Amino acid sequence: MRTAIVISLSTIGAVGLLGLAVSAQAPAISRAAELQKWAVHDEARPMPPVVDPGPAGPPAPAPADAVVLFDGRDLSGWTTSKGAPAKWLVKDGYMEAVKGAGSIQTTRAFGDCQLHVEWASPAPPVGSGQDRGNSGVFLMNMYEVQVLDSYQATTYADGMAAALYGQYPPLVNAARRPGEWQTYDIVFRAPRFDQNGAVVSPARLTVVHNGVLVHDAQELSGPTAHKARPPYKAHAGRLPIGLQDHSHPVRFRNIWVREL
């Protein structure tokens, strides 16, 4: 009897401690509350602190089980949104968005994945705000990790480099200078829907920008939109990964993905 009491007390103690530990962490919950505070593209929303990520390294080697989406040679794994051959420029191991050529997408479809992307914004920089080195990495062609020149440049916080566009600014601004290679390492969990189309679990992204954590398993409120935060609409479990043509000659290289 005495033993039983000791066990139950210690169990309560352990549960209590666990509860404390969980509520002390809970970054996703506090950020979801933060989202309600700010209108989409709210100019008053504070920009995150700047963190110098250090110099760019060489291209990160693709692990053995990765699907290489772009190895610097050709765009055979990519098409336009209509399925036509992608017309971006390929040169010296990189691809470059061509104004008017349209956004491109992978020929293969992906759901849960680990995605590695390297990109560089134009140097010298041209324009300001959203009109400065704008592109984007679209998971499932609808959930955007923003690509923008955010080195000593301002825009609305939820539209800066590494923002989950229209929803969450990165935790810090780890941008490198224009023209320098930058990396995104993204862990993406696709949303799940039940047979009635209701959300069972939302899309979730962890993003590391230039080796610096900028989103920690962040849940999205829905697909990416401009000046709006639309709700989820049920969709396929696998869809292409897209790169945005926003009329700026942003470069990409060394893109690979691991299915999870």
CB of 224 to Mg ion, least distance (A): 9
Nearer to Mg ion, 71 or 131 (CB): 131
CB of 148 to Mg ion, least distance (A): 7
Which residues lie near Mg ion (CB under 5 A)?
134, 136, 146, 244
Is-cis flag, bond preceding 124, omega within 30? yes
Tell me whether strands 182-189 and 199-201 are parallel, antiparallel or unpaired: unpaired
Q: What is the DSSP string of the chain?
A: -HHHHHHHHHHHHHHHHHHHHHHHH-HHHHHHHHHHHS-TT-TTSPPPPB-------SPPPPPTTPEEEE-SS--TTEEETTSSBP--EEETTEEE--TTS--EEESS-BSSEEEEEEEE--SS--S-TTSSS-EEEEETTTEEEEE---TT----GGGSTT-BTTTB--SSB-PPPTTS-EEEEEEEE--EE-TTS-EEE--EEEEEETTEEEEEEEEPSSS--SS--PPP----S-B--EE---SS--EEEEEEEEE-
CB of 130 to Mg ion, least distance (A): 8
- The residue sitting closest to Mg ion, measured at its beta carbon, is 136
Nearer to Mg ion, 80 or 130 (CB): 130
Nearer to Mg ion, 122 or 136 (CB): 136
CB of 160 to Mg ion, least distance (A): 10
CB of 200 to Mg ion, least distance (A): 28
Nearer to Mg ion, 134 or 254 (CB): 134
Nearer to Mg ion, 55 or 158 (CB): 158
Nearer to Mg ion, 79 or 244 (CB): 244
Nearer to Mg ion, 134 or 173 (CB): 134
CB of 244 to Mg ion, least distance (A): 5
CB of 32 to Mg ion, least distance (A): 23
Nearest to 227 by CA among 167, 168, 170: 167
